[in-house]
Amino acid sequence: MTRLPQSLRDRASDHSPSAGNQDPQAPGWRTVLVRALGSGSMASIVSTLVVSVRSWRRSRSVPAGTNAASQWVWDWPARHAGGWSARHTLLGYAIHHASSLMWATGYEAWGRRRPADPPLLRAAGVATLAYVVDYHVVPRRLSPGFENRIGAAGVAAAYAGFALGLALCDLAKARRHRSGAPRPQRGAELVQPGQHAQQERRQQQGQP
């Protein structure tokens, strides 16, 4: 049997299917899930704050928008619940938080596959997809349900807050990275050429 030269075997192994096309620096799926806990929690908190503020302005009830999400369990009465309660407020937030973690997993998976894409671009894409699924794909009972409590402008603000929350961790990390980068030492750059010239003159004159 004819044997391939060593160089050909090395190049074939470099392009073998087992090597794959993924970036070796890309985080593993466990890391993606851990990151989704952070970005999803931030998205849940920020969007809930937006919904609560809009609920207060429109219906004078802070938990009304959050209560509406409990329609997954309690159906239409949840959309009209205005007071604080574990039955509606706590359950509604738990549903919203779980949904946020699910979408955050998609956000982090996108970042794993295309790390060069800006965080805000990925977050806006995921938030847009979430809106389409929530209000144009799933049954109404599985939607957030807060549209009647916060209005169309409030819905837009809620999804914008959701997108911002998704990207906050990455934006903060990028800012820390920029602020922690070492600054160029201009003084050293100016001194080194002069020292180098002096050393050359000494070598030409035979001095140590």
What is the per-residue pLDDT for 175? 86
**Three-state DSSP class for residue 169:** helix
Q: Is 120 exposed, middle or buried (0-12, 13-18, 19+ CB in 10 A)?
A: middle
> Which H/E stretch holds residue 104?
helix 91-113
pLDDT tens per residue across span 128-142? 999 999 999 999 999
Q: Give me the pLDDT at residue 23, please.
A: 52
Q: How many residues does the chain have?
A: 208
For the cut 80, the answer to whether the pLDDT of residue 205 exceeds it is: no
Q: What's the pLDDT tens digit per position in 96-155?
A: 999 999 999 999 999 999 999 999 999 999 999 999 999 999 999 999 999 989 999 999
pLDDT tens for 10-51 read 444 444 444 334 455 567 889 999 999 999 999 999 999 999
